[in-house]
Structure 1
Amino acid sequence: MINMVALMGRLTYEPELRSTPNGLAVIRFQIACDRTYQKDSQNRQADFIDCVAWRQTAEFISRYFHKGSMIAVEGTIQTSNYTDKDGNKRKQIEVLANNVSFCGSKAENGTQGTQGAQNEQYTQGGMDINPDTSDFEEIVDDDDDLPF
């Protein structure tokens, strides 16, 4: 049986780190994921997906992610049944986040200013390349010594 989930979206509220009576770190959060299909006459719609993370993953989310941050979540779906305070039977469906990753630019995640993100440099083959220029043509060096 397979139970795998991969999601990417934005946090809908500020996640709050909590701990169980046994001292385990836990965090509940919700991400908004845009739907891929939309009718011509409608605005883009999103699904709001509840997630939970435990231990180091929970601490990582608490430290580096905030409301509006893009996040990639890999995990599994888990369901639970409970009775609410009014005596109604309820079913809860949420994603148990096993791995989370940063998405989007560094500026969106608050780790670097927008000016720094725009001037980010890449290195390939020992040569500094600015992705905003046409320096990419200089990477390929036509060498007649190749055997093919």
Structure 2
Amino acid sequence: MMNRVVLVGRLTKDPDLRYTPNGVPVANFTLAVNRTFTNQQGEREADFINCVVWRRPAENVANFLKKGSLAGVDGRLQTRSYDDQDGKRVYVTEVVADSVQFLEPRGAASQDRGGDFGGSQFGGGGQRSQSPSYGDQRNQGYTRTDEDPFSNDGQPIDISDDDLPF
């Protein structure tokens, strides 16, 4: 039998870090995961999926992720139940994360999300880096880190069928 869940989405609020009576850290958070299709109005809907992570990864999630952060979760689906204050049975379905991947550089979730996917470079701390100028040696097959090598500059793309991997 198999029970495996892999998700990529954005946190809907800051993670909630708590500790069990034995001192074990546990963090709860909700991921908004976009659906691959649009509704009848042409809008893209999202699913809001509750996640829980334990121990050291829980502390890392609480310390480094916040509302709007892009995260990847690998784990398993779990259903549990409890009786609430009124004696009603409450069922909870959540993803128990084995690992949580931070998919953006620190601070990128708070920046304006323009057409350049978050407005920052990985590892750059939100600052764009500029290529140094080395005299007359201009762009000898290298791309500056602040240029999009895949942007459409209006020129046709020269690619043969032999270059395609399929």
**TM-score w.r.t. length of structure 2:** 0.67
Where do 1:1-148 residues align within 5 Å?
Answer: 1-109=1-109, 112-114=124-126, 116=127, 118-119=128-129, 129-131=143-145, 132=147
Q: Return closer, same or farther for 1:80/1:130 CA change in 2, 3 Å cut-off.
A: same
Q: Return closer, same or farther for 1:133/1:52 CA change in 2, 3 Å cut-off.
A: closer
**TM-score w.r.t. length of structure 1:** 0.75
8 Å Cα contact 1:106/1:112 also seen in 2: no
8 Å Cα contact 1:73/1:100 also seen in 2: yes
Percent identical pairs in the alignment equals: 38
Q: Residue 77 of structure 1: CA displacement?
A: 0.5
Q: Distance in 2 between matches of 1:106 and 1:93?
A: 30
Q: Distance in 1 between matches of 2:95 and 2:43?
A: 26
Q: Residue 105 of structure 1: CA displacement?
A: 4.9
Unpaired segments ≥5 residues, structure 1:
122-126, 135-148
Q: Residue 48 of structure 1: CA displacement?
A: 0.4
Q: Distance in 1 between matches of 2:45 and 2:148?
A: 36
Q: Return closer, same or farther for 1:13/1:78 CA change in 2, 3 Å cut-off.
A: same
Unpaired segments ≥5 residues, structure 2:
111-122, 132-140, 150-166
Q: What's the RMSD between the two structures over aligned residues? A: 2.4
One-letter amino acid of the structure 1 residue matched with residue 12 of structure 2: T
Relative contact order, higher structure (CA 8 A, sep 6+): 1
One-letter amino acid of the structure 2 residue matched with residue 119 of structure 1: S
Judging by fraction of residues, say which structure has more strand.
1
Q: Residue 103 of structure 1: CA displacement?
A: 1.4
The list of structure 1 runs, each at least 4 consecutive aligned residues, that deviate by more than 6 angstroms after superposition, is none
8 Å Cα contact 2:64/2:106 also seen in 1: no
Alignment coverage as a number of residue pairs: 127
